Amino acid sequence: MKIRLIRALVAGCRAEPGLNGWFDGNAGRRHVMAKIDVGIAVDLPDGLFVPVLRDVAHRDAPDLRAGFEHMRAGNKARRIPPEKLRGNTITLSNCGMVAGKYAAPIVVPPTVAILGARRIHEQSWRPAARRPSTVCCRCA
């Protein structure tokens, strides 16, 4: 599912390039980035870590999956080098992994946007059972 979310994030950044950038508070302007470097928010017992998958727009699905699995193993072993924890141009938070019904993703400077996705679940309070999915995009 993460690969599909990353692909959707790439499509969103291509449709609205201003989502993929940094804000420079000193200059008072936003810098739109050419490469899409996605920070993946990972909640661990020791805290929240955001390792970065680089240049995701130019990577195929098997390469993204391998990069994601390498990142997951590094997180688990606590062996992610500091340079892989910085430099993201946009953030993806899959808050559905912790079964949260509502979430308010926080944009961390200098990035200007975060995409928060929840899990898909059945709802029977409507006339027909549906599989809703909520996606939240916040911009600073």
Q: Closest by alpha carbon to 10, among 1, 19, 99?
A: 19
Confidence of residue 129 (pLDDT cuts 50, 70, 90): low
What is the pLDDT averaged over residues 42-55? 88
Identify the residue with better confidence: 70 or 119.
70
Identify the residue with better confidence: 27 or 128.
27
Tell me, what's the pLDDT at 63?
96
**Minimum mean pLDDT range among 67-71, 91-95, 123-127:** 123-127
Tell me, what's the pLDDT at 106?
86
CA-based angle 111:116:119, to the nearest 5? 160
Tell me, what's the pLDDT at 97?
58
Confidence of residue 57 (pLDDT cuts 50, 70, 90): very high
What is the pLDDT averaged over residues 35-44? 91
Q: Closest by alpha carbon to 138, among 110, 114, 103, 111?
A: 114
